[in-house]
Amino acid sequence: MADAERVTARQRAILTAVVESYIDTGEPVGSGTVAEVMARRQQGEGAGLSAGLGAGLSAATIRNEMAALADTGLLEQPHTSAGRVPTARAFRMYVEDLSGGAHPRIDAARLSVQSRQQIDSSFVGLAGTQALLQRTSHVLATLSSGVGVAIAAATEGDMLEHVHFSRLAARRVLAVVVTRSGLVRDRVLALDQDLSLRELETAANFLNEHFRGWSVERVRAELARLVEQERSAYQMLVNSVQQLWVKTVPESEIAAQTVYVEGVANLVGSQSGGSYEDRERLREVLAALEAKQRLVELLNAYIDARQESGRVVFDLEEHAPEMAGLVLIAAPARMAGESRGTVGVIGPKRMHYENTMNAVSYIANVFDRMLHPME
């Protein structure tokens, strides 16, 4: 990175102090504040990048170094008499320093005991991928200053484990489909013709006996083939089964990805008091979050299910212009080497990166442990 080549170790330490102070307060940072932050880090355990670099620096020296950082485009001064605030490039460099260097701070094991206990207790009693992903979005929104998102992997290729139908009223049926990945789909169906309890039981038995272990998209194709093939009383059964299955698993959902979003209020709070332009952009962001397919496209564009670790993405506007100014921190969630989806946080640049990155990594890493005992 060109910026890194022009920035000295001392300037990196100062930049880290500016970024962390700005994250904490949201206010421009002056040289005096930087001196205090670096002094505290000197005295603290595991001082990281600031170790040995901030001792004895005067406010004037720090002020000169901050001016040099501004010249490289890493700091900017919103007002003539105000302190400095980090630019997007500064946040990128800060995240790189968190992840690398002699004292990396991004490691799921570094997440606080309190946060780990909060995460683990949140998943107690849950079963199946769907329930875990839904709870994940809530947990990440609670732990971060952003929107928690969790996206289930596409259901294409998922295998049928069990199906059950319950009669609610005339032409109204509750359908429950369980797949081998742990996904549970339940839906109230409005049928074209009424089916008795016996017919529903027969239809469920037929599906479970003939199609357990089949991919859900193959079931639809085979039922359509059987309807064309059979010309007897057997066809009446197949017709009933087909009607139930088509309504339970519509073709439009076969390869769809389920999206869970929580914490939109966090974004609203982060933009309170902003300009008209900020409020308009926030409205666009909220609309994009509501259009959940946009999130699927966004995460699929940046997060590869095969990657081993999380990723921080600053240039979301390249794929989704309405996301300008926001950051994505996400990681693939796998079990036994198989992708179960993606978990992450979308938030403002001014977020607590270390805590959020470690929380995302921790949840993604323990997915296997949370799911394995349930299967």
H helices within the chain, ranges in order?
A: 2-6, 9-25, 31-43, 59-71, 88-99, 113-122, 129-143, 197-211, 216-229, 233-248, 264-270, 276-290, 292-302, 353-371
What is the C-alpha separation between 217 and 357, in angstroms, rounded?
A: 36
Question: pLDDT value at position 274?
Answer: 55
Reading the block at residue 163, the tokens are 């199906």
| Phi, psi angle pair for 247, to nearest 5° | -80, -30
Neighbours of 276 (CB within 10 A): 7
Question: pLDDT value at position 1?
Answer: 47
Question: pLDDT value at position 50?
Answer: 43
Place of tokens 């083939």: 225
pLDDT 10s per residue in the chain (375 long)?
455 557 898 999 999 999 999 999 888 999 989 988 888 877 664 444 444 455 567 888 998 999 999 999 999 988 766 789 999 999 999 999 888 766 778 888 888 899 999 998 988 887 777 778 888 988 998 888 788 988 877 655 568 888 999 888 888 888 888 887 666 777 888 888 888 888 899 888 989 998 898 877 788 778 777 766 665 555 666 677 777 767 776 655 544 567 888 877 777 666 555 555 566 666 777 776 766 767 777 787 777 766 667 889 998 888 878 788 889 999 888 766 667 788 999 988 888 999 999 999 899 877 766 655 444
Domains located in the chain, CATH noted? 2-99 (1.10.10.10), 108-153+257-374 (3.30.450.40), 160-251 (3.30.390)
| Phi, psi angle pair for 98, to nearest 5° | -65, -40
What strands, in cross-sheet order, belong to the sheet with 172-179? 160-169, 172-179, 184-190
Question: pLDDT value at position 93?
Answer: 93
Reading the block at residue 303, the tokens are 């997060």
Show Cβ contacts of residue 1 under 8 Å, excluding neighbours closer than 6 positions: 92, 93, 96
Question: pLDDT value at position 75?
Answer: 94
**DSSP code at position 128:** S
Place of tokens 């900020």: 278
What is the C-alpha separation between 116 and 118, in angstroms, rounded?
A: 5
In the chain, the N- to C-terminal Cα span, in Å, equals: 45
Nearest CA-CA partner of 328 in 302, 307, 305: 302
Question: pLDDT value at position 45?
Answer: 45
Q: For the CA atoms of the chain, what is the radius of gyration?
A: 26
pTM of the entire structure? 0.68
Grouping H, G, I as helix, E, B as strand and the rest as coil, residue 200 is: helix
- Furthest C-alpha separation in the chain: 93
What is the C-alpha separation between 259 and 371, in angstroms, rounded?
A: 19
Question: pLDDT value at position 92?
Answer: 92
Question: pLDDT value at position 167?
Answer: 87
